[in-house]
Amino acid sequence: MDFETPLTARIKANGEVTTLAEYRDAAGYQGLEIALSMESTAVIDLVKESNLRGRGGAGFSAGLKWSFVPRGEGTARPKYLICNADEMEPGTFKDRWLMECDPHQLIEGMVIAAYAIEADIAYLFLRADYEVAAERLQQAIDDAYQEGLLGDNICGGSYSLQLYLHTSAGRYICGEETALISSLEGKRAVPRAKPPFPQVSGLFGKPTVVNNVETLCNLPHILRNGADWFKSLGRGEDAGTKLFGVSGRVKNPGCWEMPMGTTIREILEGYAGGMQDGLKLKGFLPGGGSTDFLTEEHLDLPMDYGAIGKAGSRMGTGTMIVLDDQTCPVGMVLNLIQFFAQESCGWCTPCRNGLPFLRQLLEDLEYGKGRPEDLETMADYCRYLGPGNTFCALAPGAAEPLQSALKYFRRDFEEHVNQGGCTYRQQAKANG
Amino acid sequence: MTELIASTANLPAAGEIEPLTPEERAEIEHEISHYPNRQAATIEALKIVQKYQRWVSDGKVKAIAEVLDISPDAVDAVATFYNRIYRQPVGQKVLAICDSVSCWLLGCTELMDHASRSLDIEPGETSSDGRFTLLPTPCLGACDRAPVMKFEDKLITNLTAETLDWILKS
């Protein structure tokens, strides 16, 4: 490897956890000490300068997000930092790795972010199903309190932060930052209208920042090595490294840390080893279940927010889901729409009613009841579910794989209508 | 209307409060201390009760409401929203097979059918001997090792029909 991998350098091959002592031996918590020696506004400036963008999917500048938090005398207190560890995007499995194997990196990142926004309390919002991560994080939090890295007068200075682990009870919508805030208040995870933005009125009506696990894990390294170093890690326009993952019928599915701007081909063909024998690549979702399909023609694009956006998709979480030529794209989209319909919180009409309707049309197609006009109806519905028509990004995200499948795999949809159902299943049956 | 009244009359009387055990109460109070108000610990309270009882009964919903100082409806609204809270009894072991996209690509539909046939139940049901509850579950975040399932709290990766048979017989 000819590049640095700061996020995963301490992760052991056997999957065991890095202890506090081991983490400190590897320069752990030095980033925090540097941060505490700086003015909190200087930490924000440094992170802005580093061009760290949110790794949860939206890609918003982390430093800019922090800068919207009210500061100084007379500001509403307490202020909150929340780590969004509700990794539930279908096909996404990157934060699990960081939390299970190197929990102190995340805790250090959280304290740095909390210091930057002058937060008093931090919550780590962890999805229900990550029991191993929960156990290791709680141990790490206890150890950090023990050694004065959390709690009152951190590292002997004047800054104090209480940090609590909250384990959730399921539901994809909790990953949406305002729904997550509702959930943390002990309510149904229903998103909230913006404005007011959480930075001004968030958890319990107080100033709040929500950052993704991987975003926070970058902070100790930025503090220690500087903004220029961080920018130099990326190959293209975006800064830093990124965890990229591949799942589906490839030879070597997995998750790896690589420079931002690594090409899709390097990830799919190099790291993931290409398709399993006898299969060809048909398409892929570049950043989780709620991103538009891309195809073979996009393989040489760099994994940068801008480049993937220009190609009509989103880098999202950076974990790709690969569709092969012997799996039905209509069936795959039906599976995704089924997921989003089920996980809709039910608050707003386009999402609550539109997604089950789309699921019905796709089921009709799969099982031989599709009509030619359904394809146009589905395309129309993707527009109705689009940005601006719903409370949050769940429905627009759900529409993305469908709208792009209608574009790239149109023939498959038409054949489902003409052949009276799923042509892939018919073919499989014919082949015995 | 008469029919409705008659059928409601056959239902058990509105459930009594099922008091929290000292352990449940202590753990819930500990979680409450992490928040500025008691309601915020609703999810933790439900999970704590479920850890001991394996599900959350109407009587426990009332007891949680009392300790959090909110209405039973507010507790139930939360309990029924989150898919990891069980509002009906479950079997001795819960099998939750992932049915999201990466597992679908790797054949989870066939695995769910296999489990369903072997246990002679539909997803969402409990086997007649009370040993297993079979549930579909959204993405478990281990897509590089698909197909996967949860067997109680344990993640089982690269799931096969043989592994399922072995678990169901054990």
CA–CA dist B51, A62 (Å, integer): 37
The segment(s) of chain A belonging to CATH 3.10.20.600 are 241-324
CA–CA dist A335, A358 (Å, integer): 11
CB contact under 8 A, B102 and A248: yes
A 203-242: CB under 8 A from B: 204
CA–CA dist A79, A301 (Å, integer): 41
Q: Is pLDDT at A429 greater than 90 in this prediction?
A: no
CATH class of domain segment(s) A329-430 = mainly alpha
Residue A58: predicted pLDDT = 86
Q: Model-level pTM greater than 0.90?
A: yes
* Direct distance between the N- and C-terminal alpha carbons of chain A, in angstroms, rounded to an integer: 45
More confident residue, B80 or A2: B80
The segment(s) of chain A belonging to CATH 1.20.1440.230 are 329-430
Of B85, B99, B104, the CB nearest to A169: B85
A 98-157: CB under 8 A from B: 127-132
Of A127, A167, A189, the CB nearest to B81: A189
Q: Is pLDDT at B11 greater than 60 in this prediction?
A: no
User: Which positions in chain A touch B40 (Cβ < 8 Å)?
Assistant: 184-186, 204
Contact criterion met (CB below 8 Å) for A184 and A82: yes
Q: pLDDT of A108-124, one tens digit each?
A: 999 999 999 999 999 99
Residue linked to tokens 């012997």: A326
CA–CA dist A365, B1 (Å, integer): 42
**Would you call B110 exposed, middle or buried from its count of C-beta atoms within 10 A (0-12, 13-18, 19+)?**
exposed
Average pLDDT, chain B: 92
Residue B1: predicted pLDDT = 39
Q: pLDDT of B138-163, one tens digit each?
A: 999 999 999 999 999 999 999 999 99
A 271-330: CB under 8 A from B: 289, 319, 321-324, 327
Residue B14: predicted pLDDT = 62
Angle of CA points A389, A320, A309, to nearest 5°: 50
Peptide bond into A196 cis (omega under 30): yes
- Domain A241-324 = CATH 3.10.20.600: yes
Q: Is pLDDT at B6 greater than 80 in this prediction?
A: no
Question: Sorting pLDDT into bands at 50, 70 and 90, what band is A144?
Answer: very high
Question: How many residues appear in chain A?
Answer: 432
A 4-63: CB under 8 A from B: none
In our burial notation (b when 16+ CB lie closer than 10 A, e otherwise), range B115-153 reads bbebbebebeebbeeeebbbbbbbbbbbbbbbbbbbbee
Which of B67, B102, B145 is best to mutate for the A interface (most A CBs within 10 A)? B102
Mean pLDDT of A347-356: 96
CA–CA dist A430, B39 (Å, integer): 58
Residue A36: predicted pLDDT = 98
**CATH no., domain A20-232:** 3.40.50.11540
The segment(s) of chain A belonging to CATH 3.40.50.11540 are 20-232
Residue A72: predicted pLDDT = 85
Mean pLDDT of B59-69: 97
Q: Is pLDDT at A281 greater than 70 in this prediction?
A: yes
Instruction: Count A/B contacts: CB-CB distance under 8 Å.
Output: 137
Strand A80-85 and strand A121-126: the pairing is parallel
